[in-house]
Structure 1
Amino acid sequence: MIAIEAALSVFLLCGAGLVAQNLWTLISTPTGFDPNHVLAMRLTLSARQQADSRADPALHEYLEEIAAIPGVDSAATVTGPPLRSAGVGTADVVGVRDRTGALKKMIGVGETHRVSADYFRTLRIPLLSGRTFRDDDDLRHPYVAIVNQEFARRFGLGGDVLRKQFFGDAPVPITIVGMVGDVRTRGLQAAPVPEVYLSSLQIDGPNVYLIVRSTIPPGQLVKLVKAVIHSSSSDQAVFGISTMEELVADTLTEQRFDVFLIGTFALLAIAMAAAGMYSVVSCLVSQRTSEVAIRIALGASRGAIVRTILGTTTAWMVAGLACGLGLGLITRNIIRSLSRTTVDGSWWMYVSVVLFFLVVTLVAAYLPVRRAILLDPAIALRCE
């Protein structure tokens, strides 16, 4: 029975260690932007605002007024914040002209986003080459775009992306004017995908997120931003308010739950194993009191007494530990698929599991073994 408890404990500890290591890996994964002191909220333009002849007119006015609030560093709009994978759409086929003028086509290119001029500054996404959007990147000028590093890598452009032209669903050429760092758009577990950023003054739409970087407390900032928006348009809907730090934390909700669930079962199992170890050793000490007393009277060392008590029990415990560890290694792919874990588990994680289990079981056996070692032979034999 104690071997089964040991095997189950080690197996569950391996699973808990695997998902915990995965959670730590995701927490340590660079997002590609700075979520600190950034507030995000969703806006939906009214029918009256959408009927305006200019692209994104109301939003542009909002940004100017919000940026003027004391304590606000910058403000921008985007079709969907990072980690939410909410762009204008996916670019299924994109053609890029190289230096020779030849057209390279790529199928299954990532996502397209509509952003305002200060978007990259607001989220502190690094500009690697070229420039960001300007206020004159509007419908009066040719279409321009900013791409990420993965876009350049996927097309084999390296760092030479400026002034390249590409074609999306429409035949209108779009000129690349800048390249920025990669951002985890589809979650921390997904690798960066090729992304295209378009100017919100050239491509309009009714649904956007407002991103504001500020040193003002979030609750106070929300009131100030709403006051600015409603002063211009009382029917403007503002909802889905959260900080970017909360959005990042929300992407790890499932992983945290997996760690809590499997970790709870693992702790319960090891508690049962520890209780079993304590009970078995206590029972052995009680059953073999006379034998232990005689051995002590004949001059047996403390080590010999410990081996007498723990010999068979330790063998079963080690056998259970080995079975549990082997089962954890064999079934780790199943655990990974059930918990959506992306890591295989490092050697130090499995070593930590073994050491933790051994420490717990040794602590559980300490009191009954100590009682046997300190046994007075005369008193014990008299009682018998």
Structure 2
Amino acid sequence: MSNKVFETLEKWGVKNYKVIDKQAIKEITLGASILATGGGGDPEIGLLWAYKVLDEGKTIVMVDPMDIPDDILVASPACLGAPVVLTEKPPSADVLNNAIRKLEQYWGKKLQATIPIECGGVNSTVAYAAAGEFEVPVIDVDGMNRAFPELQMTSWVTNGVNASPTVSCDDRGNVTVIDTGDDNKMAENIARRVAMAYGGISWIATYPMTGKQVKEASILNSQSIAWELGKAVYRAREKHLDPVEEMLKSLKATRNVTGVRVFKGKIVDISREFGGEATKGFSLGRIKMEGLDDYKGSVAEIDFQNEWLVLRIDGRIRCLPPDLIAIVDSETGEPIRTDIMKYGYRGSIILIPAHERMRTPKGIELFGPRYFGYDIDYVPVEELNKEVWQDGV
């Protein structure tokens, strides 16, 4: 077992850290997949990648962002493209490693830690796997505390940190360097077209920044939030508790936010924009759910673009981006993703307020409802659901 990562922590004067074992990565992956709002890609791919790294005797260590030096250099390894394609076309570990090495080469600097770009099924976990591969720590942050479809939709951009340079690779050895300065929408446009040229999916190393920028612009301790959420679901399964209730209790304990269950039903209709993966680089469409139990007679409709975006129940808007919509299996707490959902799937719809760093005026401009083409002003999810929010039911 290498001690390089521990040597680094000693040099930084970091005494508090968490060694991530297989159980921990499994819990973090589940929690992140729930926060991923239906997107973030197949969690199994990132999970197996992290397991492989641990099986090779490498160490994965997570550190608190406030403990890292201001002058270290970090970046985010991630997957970009349509989740449906990822499920059909999983990569080898070499692709992401190549992206990081090419970013180091272009940057002229060595990566000293990784940061997950989001709480996503695959995009949280690959940052842990890459940290283990490169023998650097992973920092307890991300850029969203959820998943979003586009590269620039982060708290980093809203706080003046840019996605450039971004290196994009595929499994055939193709490499594209994207450097658009502070034009982050252009970086997204190019990265999306590159992913489409690669066949719908790409592996990127992006958002190079300093330790100081990590602290000022990230969603702090977001990985711990995901970890506790995953633990809560596994605990519910073991003790035969209601996984939804345990999730909501966990969010209250870790983030001090109230989340609510607003619907329980089954999917009765799926409208997909077929070809969206190839023409736009996204999975797009809408689902319709019919209510069950206490919600019998009601109908829920959710629009999606990789992630669940807008929820209407009986025609009334109940959630808008950047607030979170999660559909989970009512019995197991397993998230229902946009890339695997099918007719007849049953689940509970949970709504969670976005992190305060995502709700700034700049954030609403970059990833609020109007950005996605809705002629609607953003209204916080708590206000849209006043009648149930106080009770947290």
TM-score (norm. length: structure 1):
0.23
Q: Tell which has more relative contact order, 1 or 2 (C-alpha 8 A, sep 6+).
A: 1
Higher helix share: 1
Higher strand share: 2
TM-score (norm. length: structure 2):
0.23
